[in-house]
Amino acid sequence: MKKAVVAGSGIAGLASAIRLRNKGYSVLVLEKNAYPGGKLTQLSGNGYRFDAGPSLFTMPNLVTELFEISGKNPKDYFDYDQLDVLCNYFYEDGTRISAYKEIDRFAEEIDRNTKDSAEKVKKHLNKSKFIYRATEEQFLNRSLHKVRSFLSFSTVVSILKLPFLNIFRTMNQVNEKMFADSKTIRLFNRYATYNGSNPYKAPGILNIIPHLEFGLGAYLPKNGMHQITNSLVQLATDIGVEFRFDEEVISIETEGNKAKSVRTKAGNYEGDIVVCNADIHTVYEKLIPSAKKLAQVDKQERSSSALILYWGIGKEFPELDVHNILFTEDYKTEFDHLFESKTITQDPTIYINITSKKLKEDAPEGKENWFVMINVPSVYGQDWDTMIAEARKHILSKLSRNLGTDIEPLIEFEEQLTPQLIQDKTNSYKGSLYGTSSNNRFAAFFRHKNFSSEFKNLYFCGGSVHPGGGIPLALSSAKIIDKLIK
């Protein structure tokens, strides 16, 4: 039986291991941490449980497919529910908008609370659907770096549609042309943050993202997001994948045009196939040192990072739902801070995820588990202790003002995840959540490919390579590798 070694057990590494096992390979997964999942993990304390990383679940078919190709029933491992409210939006003037899964109902919310019409909202979401259908097969499901990927009728059709996909205007330019109200523009501009980008620079093609929620649905696993990791690890184990934790990969040994083995402090593991689920910068800096490759990778701007405060809150807030956004009044200034001055604005947009709204066991009765996040710059030598302390004050002030309650006395439990910790725990260069940003109209083509041109049996998956960051795209990277390997 041929051997495959997977370096890293993030969700893309797990998916790659499962797919390789189904191809008949003996698969070994090496992980630096004592736990699997990379960013998709959890933490708990004082009766509260939190999903530590990604909190939005879309395109569940990419997960269930892994069970189906393994001959398993997905429901034997995990299940999920569709959310009726995708997100609640809060503005400083007291306006509140609920994004319902039903497009007509959401459009009516916009019509009632802004200067924009329901008709414009529906037109915008139809365009989002058009972009998705025009790009899914060619740009999300295939390698952009193989000639054969472009030798198909679907490719010709996609190329003919390029002028209509808004790649020559920024997301903000597209949204400002469509909508008149700043509230609506901010709501749709925020989708650029789904891959750590700046809507004032990123191409309008990123308006594909709303379709993932409104067209395909947003979901919550019945035991939280971490259940995705647990279920995939269980599936992998059941079909014969081997895991070794607390074994950090320190190098990928090569010989000629092949990756020969993967080395840890505990041993050296040979493989006919090597799949690397690590930030591509780390690959060329540490695992296969290459100054030339590293320089090419680092030409691209890093994505934003995050400051996350895990708060156990001793009270329930009925106006909040699973997903909530409290907007800044000056969105442009916030992104100037993130990508230009590499600092944090005094009035950041705040995201709150509360799984206990649906999963009552995640918090004690009458209380809530708040995952409070703001976008922050990647690590560039800033005084993070001072920046984080100031940001926490501004977050508390904004939350207390918008919710009409002094929040700090309600905090019964607190943990933090900072850009430095993200960098240390997940080897994400500079703590960036999504590898490189999409602040360039051709960013999709500049992302690193899913295979090595130098070593014919070496492949790359995860958020720092094609097609991008986030759970669906990370899973798609594993699927692309599956198609590349005979």
User: Which pLDDT value is given to residue 157?
Assistant: 55
Mean of pLDDT values over 110-132: 97
Q: Is the pLDDT of residue 180 over 80?
A: yes
459 domain-assigned: yes
User: Which pLDDT value is given to residue 352?
Assistant: 98
User: Which pLDDT value is given to residue 163?
Assistant: 61
Is this structure's pTM higher than 0.75? yes
Q: Is the pLDDT of residue 71 over 70?
A: yes
373 domain-assigned: no
User: Which pLDDT value is given to residue 149?
Assistant: 53
Amino acid at 375: N
Mean of pLDDT values over 6-22: 98
User: Which pLDDT value is given to residue 88?
Assistant: 98
Using 50, 70 and 90 to split pLDDT, how confident is the model at 162?
low
- Domain extent for 25: 3-40+222-301+436-484
User: Which pLDDT value is given to residue 158?
Assistant: 56
Q: Is the pLDDT of residue 37 over 70?
A: yes
CB 450 within 8 A of CB 477: yes
Mean of pLDDT values over 308-321: 98
396 domain-assigned: no
User: Which pLDDT value is given to residue 105?
Assistant: 98
CB 303 within 8 A of CB 437: yes
295 domain-assigned: yes
User: Which pLDDT value is given to residue 445?
Assistant: 67
Higher pLDDT, 417 or 139: 417
57 domain-assigned: no
Number of domains making up the chain: 1
User: Which pLDDT value is given to residue 188?
Assistant: 98
CATH of the domain at 293: 3.50.50.60
Using 50, 70 and 90 to split pLDDT, how confident is the model at 134?
confident
450 domain-assigned: yes
d(CA 104, CA 108): 6
Q: Is the pLDDT of residue 442 over 80?
A: no
Q: Is the pLDDT of residue 318 over 80?
A: yes
Task: Give the whole-number percent of the chain exceeding pLDDT 70.
Answer: 95
d(CA 123, CA 111): 13
313 domain-assigned: no
Q: Is the pLDDT of residue 312 over 80?
A: yes
Peptide bond into 467 cis (omega under 30): yes
Residues 251-299: pLDDT tens digits? 999 999 999 999 999 999 999 999 999 999 999 999 999 989 999 999 8
d(CA 35, CA 450): 25
Using 50, 70 and 90 to split pLDDT, how confident is the model at 385?
very high
User: Which pLDDT value is given to residue 161?
Assistant: 57
269 domain-assigned: yes
- Cα 215 to Cα 128, 165, 218, 322, 469: the distances in Å are 9, 17, 9, 19, 20
